[in-house]
Chains A and B, each alone.
Chain A
């Protein structure tokens, strides 16, 4: 039943990797369409925190998925073993499998794998397990929580729920995790090691990470250096940005070979054309190295896609309102694509969604593919006054029409990881 993997020497170089399913569980809706509509309407998913009490911490503005109910989607089965991250991943997998028409029956005939980007799995589950043992004694620790204390727990639970018996991998590289997962999956398919993979990310909002990030001083309004009552302004590329707002979500592509998609009559939503991955060994301390990492990731992706920067229709960046991070990302993009930037609109959706960590760049990819398909690029929520020192002349302040089927997704983490992926809308092939 396994796909017959080809040995590298037999590999057909023409295995193209296409998207036939796509899901996004976000603060602005539970589908790529509703997310795209919200983003283009200039809506914001940033609201006051409701999920857990966090008294004493300034800035309670978060991208929370209010009233998220896994039961609404997963109508039968025992949800108890799934923590919030696993629920977001499992629901995202359901939606992507459904859209792609990859039914349970089809999954019996053919292995589907999963590559999940995440920053934490669930640091909430891990901490709760430990605290229970500390407070009540190790005898009272909960075995179920222990099973979920591994960082790949959400990937394992999703595989059990949907019977995904192929490769099961989890990727952590900070905010580029989800994008990196898509790139990793594309490589496995392109080289014949897998035929069908879900790839993207999931991360939850929880007290543990919320407090932890506040203490770094990088959350907007958390004010480690400035006055603690400063107004949060988590607006990407804004002149007066002062950090990010935390968010959460789950988002997956269903990727398969173009040949397989055509053979089974699936609608091709898009194609993964190329990707690049690089690292900044200064870990954000040296602007030249930080921008250089993203520049190299973009250059590798362009080369792999065999396109020029001028063929790109838009860029979706991972900018989230971080003072330093947004600048490094702008500099990296300018270093790779400088000559084309006068005509190349740049957007940043984290202004509307917050920083959803390991899943954030997967949401970027899914939202950008939807934008390329709908030929409409969302603006940057809340961007009244762009930072004039940034080398990005065409920041997308309002939603605008798109004319090209190719788009670039970039993600650069403060810790040094950089990833770039080039997507092509499948709209021209939708009649197939």
Chain B
């Protein structure tokens, strides 16, 4: 076996900024990235807020690919990939192309490309659809574009496991490295702001009108967002040999399916609990050893209540007092990027000894009786962090990060 697998680089493109050095302080400061949607007109909706990445100029980030070759999710992901490599102290020349791979997750891939197609259709202009629809839309183009931009020839895969996809991608990269199929993996998630996603959540009545308040008794819903995050994963042995900064070790993971409902979680938290239990078991970690949990915490009345049930099944009443916060209160739900951004949060929590808050928290919900780190970041020695993500299709993922051995 390849030994422990560690996180040595982090790239972040989020509604509160670009880059670890900007985003992490913003998250600890409780800064919100939620603002009125600019990508499209929201007049026909009864809600208008979103978590968009603003001030993103693709030409500043794409060095080899032409901007026209890549959809927005690919562009966000490429920016995160460049950042992550730089953060890891890995120049492209330092990578052996054939031994460096990419696994990515997404919910919708490049939804703006199909929306563009639909605009043509309803305007009776299908004759104007050109090759760019298929050359940009299918979601496997995201990891492919990253690899093309960076010249990477190793394992390459998209795992579109919806809102748990980033965790699925990190789990796969972990296995690829453990099996010795690559030396370095870029793993994460990306999604672009989408009219389709916005319409769907609005139709379900799931979008909060003013702010996202996970675990608060008055919470009114989630807020759709966009973003990208990429982690650089490599073996501890390799990281040490090159003197790399190590954020955290990926200790293990659990994946499961509710097999219950496409959009609603299991009423007893069955699949979510099984994913957490598997992750703990594989990591050789007891529940009481977990210092911090990054919640799925979308802020919808149902999610947060059922997530609490699942956490209590594994960690006991009140989650055993384990702090559990949701950065979706600040970024909104960045879909396929969310669990990858939250993986970066877990790594940084271990590395810095700080955990980000759940903002907009006013009044506790007796049905969500957890320590959600209300409103203020907390200094805390984090030896072990668990990242939970739940998705459409009933798919669940838990990934555990811990302090790497000295």
Q: Is B134 an interface residue (CB 8 A)?
A: yes
Nearest CB to that of A415 among chain B residues? B144
Nearest CB to that of A140 among chain B residues? B203
Q: Report whether B154 and A279 are in contact in the complex, using a CB–CB cutoff of 8 Å.
A: yes
**What is the CA–CA distance of A152 and B277 in the complex, to the nearest angstrom?**
24
Q: Is B101 an interface residue (CB 8 A)?
A: yes
Nearest CB to that of A300 among chain B residues? B181
Report A-chain residues with C-beta under 8 Å of the C-beta of B135: 216
Q: Is A98 an interface residue (CB 8 A)?
A: no
Give the residue of A81, A113, A166 whose beta carbon is less than 8 angstroms from that of B262. A81
**What is the CA–CA distance of A138 and B199 in the complex, to the nearest angstrom?**
6
Q: Report whether B134 and A150 are in contact in the complex, using a CB–CB cutoff of 8 Å.
A: no
Report A-chain residues with C-beta under 8 Å of the C-beta of B89: none
Give the residue of B114, B161, B172 whose beta carbon is less than 8 angstroms from that of A168. B161
Report B-chain residues with C-beta under 8 Å of the C-beta of A142: 203
Residues 1-25 (chain B) with a chain A CB within 8 angstroms: 1
- B393 → chain A, closest Cβ, in Å? 2
Q: Is B107 an interface residue (CB 8 A)?
A: yes
Q: Report whether B98 and A130 are in contact in the complex, using a CB–CB cutoff of 8 Å.
A: no
Q: Report whether A159 and B394 are in contact in the complex, using a CB–CB cutoff of 8 Å.
A: yes
Q: Is A336 an interface residue (CB 8 A)?
A: no
Q: Report whether B156 and A417 are in contact in the complex, using a CB–CB cutoff of 8 Å.
A: yes
Give the residue of B156, B257, B261 whose beta carbon is less than 8 angstroms from that of A277. B156
- A169 → chain B, closest Cβ, in Å? 6
Give the residue of B106, B122, B393 whose beta carbon is less than 8 angstroms from that of A134. B122
Q: Report whether A215 and B392 are in contact in the complex, using a CB–CB cutoff of 8 Å.
A: no
Give the residue of B126, B157, B254, B284 whose beta carbon is less than 8 angstroms from that of A171. B157
Q: Report whether B147 and A141 are in contact in the complex, using a CB–CB cutoff of 8 Å.
A: no
Residues 261-309 (chain B) with a chain A CB within 8 angstroms: 261-263, 270-271, 274, 277-278, 281-284
Residues 180-197 (chain B) with a chain A CB within 8 angstroms: 181, 195-197
Report B-chain residues with C-beta under 8 Å of the C-beta of A415: 140-141, 144
Q: Is the interface of A mostly helix, strand, loop or mixed?
A: mixed
**What is the CA–CA distance of A212 and B136 in the complex, to the nearest angstrom?**
11
Give the residue of A165, A193, A281 whose beta carbon is less than 8 angstroms from that of B271. A165
Give the residue of B107, B156, B252, B262 whose beta carbon is less than 8 angstroms from that of A156. B262
Q: Is A163 an interface residue (CB 8 A)?
A: yes
**What is the CA–CA distance of A177 and B204 in the complex, to the nearest angstrom?**
32
Type the 1/0 row for A177-212, where 1 means its CB is closer than 8 Å to any CB of B. 100100010011001010000000000000011011
Q: Report whether B203 and A139 are in contact in the complex, using a CB–CB cutoff of 8 Å.
A: yes
Q: Is A320 an interface residue (CB 8 A)?
A: no
Nearest CB to that of A151 among chain B residues? B160
Q: Report whether B256 and A165 are in contact in the complex, using a CB–CB cutoff of 8 Å.
A: yes
Give the residue of B147, B159, B195, B392 whose beta carbon is less than 8 angstroms from that of A150. B392
Give the residue of A113, A131, A177, A283 whose beta carbon is less than 8 angstroms from that of B121. A131
Q: Report whether A417 and B144 are in contact in the complex, using a CB–CB cutoff of 8 Å.
A: yes
CB-CB under 8 A for A5 and B282, given A168-B161, A180-B157: yes
**What is the CA–CA distance of A293 and B107 in the complex, to the nearest angstrom?**
27
Give the residue of B130, B140, B202 whose beta carbon is less than 8 angstroms from that of A174. B140
Q: Report whether B156 and A212 are in contact in the complex, using a CB–CB cutoff of 8 Å.
A: no
Nearest CB to that of B393 among chain A residues? A156
Report B-chain residues with C-beta under 8 Å of the C-beta of A216: 131, 134-135
Type the 1/0 row for B214-257, where 1 means its CB is closer than 8 Å to any CB of A. 00000000000000000000000000000000000000101111
Q: Report whether A8 and B140 are in contact in the complex, using a CB–CB cutoff of 8 Å.
A: no
Residue among A156, A170, A171 with the highest chain B CB neighbour number at 10 A: A156
CB-CB under 8 A for A151 and B109, given A146-B200, A167-B257, A168-B393: yes
Give the residue of A119, A146, A163, A281 whose beta carbon is less than 8 angstroms from that of B152. A281
Type the 1/0 row for B23-49, where 1 means its CB is closer than 8 Å to any CB of A. 000000000000000000000110000
Q: Report whether B131 and A129 are in contact in the complex, using a CB–CB cutoff of 8 Å.
A: no
Q: Report whether A146 and B158 are in contact in the complex, using a CB–CB cutoff of 8 Å.
A: no
CB-CB under 8 A for A134 and B119, given A8-B178, A216-B134, A279-B154: yes
Interface hit among A44-52, A120-128, A401-409: A120-128
Q: Report whether A217 and B131 are in contact in the complex, using a CB–CB cutoff of 8 Å.
A: yes
Report B-chain residues with C-beta under 8 Å of the C-beta of A130: 114-115, 118, 195-196, 199
Report A-chain residues with C-beta under 8 Å of the C-beta of B377: none
Q: Is B343 an interface residue (CB 8 A)?
A: no
**What is the CA–CA distance of A139 and B203 in the complex, to the nearest angstrom?**
6
Q: Is B97 an interface residue (CB 8 A)?
A: yes
Residues 1-59 (chain A) with a chain B CB within 8 angstroms: 2, 4-5, 7-9, 11
Q: Report whether A281 and B153 are in contact in the complex, using a CB–CB cutoff of 8 Å.
A: yes
Residues 140-178 (chain B) with a chain A CB within 8 angstroms: 140-141, 144, 147-148, 150-162, 165, 168, 172, 175, 178
Q: Is A370 an interface residue (CB 8 A)?
A: no
Type the 1/0 row for A227-250, where 1 means its CB is closer than 8 Å to any CB of B. 000000000000000000000000
Residue among B98, B134, B168, B263 with the highest chain A CB neighbour number at 10 A: B134
CB-CB under 8 A for A150 and B162, given A160-B262, A215-B133: yes
Report B-chain residues with C-beta under 8 Å of the C-beta of A166: 255-257
Report A-chain residues with C-beta under 8 Å of the C-beta of B394: 156, 159-160, 168
Q: Is A133 an interface residue (CB 8 A)?
A: yes
Q: Is B117 an interface residue (CB 8 A)?
A: yes
Give the residue of B156, B203, B278 whose beta carbon is less than 8 angstroms from that of A279. B156
**What is the CA–CA distance of A180 and B140 in the complex, to the nearest angstrom?**
12
Give the residue of B107, B152, B270 whose beta carbon is less than 8 angstroms from that of A151. B107
Q: Is B260 an interface residue (CB 8 A)?
A: yes
Q: Is B311 an interface residue (CB 8 A)?
A: no
Q: Is B344 an interface residue (CB 8 A)?
A: no
Report A-chain residues with C-beta under 8 Å of the C-beta of B114: 123, 126-127, 130, 208
Q: Report whether B199 and A133 are in contact in the complex, using a CB–CB cutoff of 8 Å.
A: yes
Q: Report whether B203 and A143 are in contact in the complex, using a CB–CB cutoff of 8 Å.
A: yes
Nearest CB to that of B274 among chain A residues? A2
Residue among B138, B139, B141, B282 with the highest chain A CB neighbour number at 10 A: B138
Q: Is B129 an interface residue (CB 8 A)?
A: yes
**What is the CA–CA distance of A213 and B144 in the complex, to the nearest angstrom?**
18
Report B-chain residues with C-beta under 8 Å of the C-beta of A162: 259
Q: Report whether A138 and B44 are in contact in the complex, using a CB–CB cutoff of 8 Å.
A: yes
Residues 75-91 (chain A) with a chain B CB within 8 angstroms: 81
- A124 → chain B, closest Cβ, in Å? 10
Q: Is A416 an interface residue (CB 8 A)?
A: yes
Give the residue of A119, A121, A134, A279 whose beta carbon is less than 8 angstroms from that of B118. A134
Give the residue of A133, A174, A224, A300 whose beta carbon is less than 8 angstroms from that of B138. A174
Q: Report whether B98 and A146 are in contact in the complex, using a CB–CB cutoff of 8 Å.
A: no
- A252 → chain B, closest Cβ, in Å? 15
Q: Is A135 an interface residue (CB 8 A)?
A: yes
Q: Is A62 an interface residue (CB 8 A)?
A: no
Q: Report whether B131 and A215 are in contact in the complex, using a CB–CB cutoff of 8 Å.
A: yes
* 17 further contact pairs, Cβ within 8 A, besides A7-B281, A123-B114: A5-B281, A9-B1, A119-B140, A127-B114, A130-B199, A133-B203, A135-B122, A147-B392, A150-B107, A164-B257, A165-B258, A168-B393, A170-B159, A171-B157, A172-B109, A172-B157, A173-B140
10 closest A-B pairs (Cβ-Cβ)?
A156-B393, A146-B200, A168-B257, A151-B160, A279-B156, A147-B262, A172-B158, A172-B140, A212-B134, A167-B255
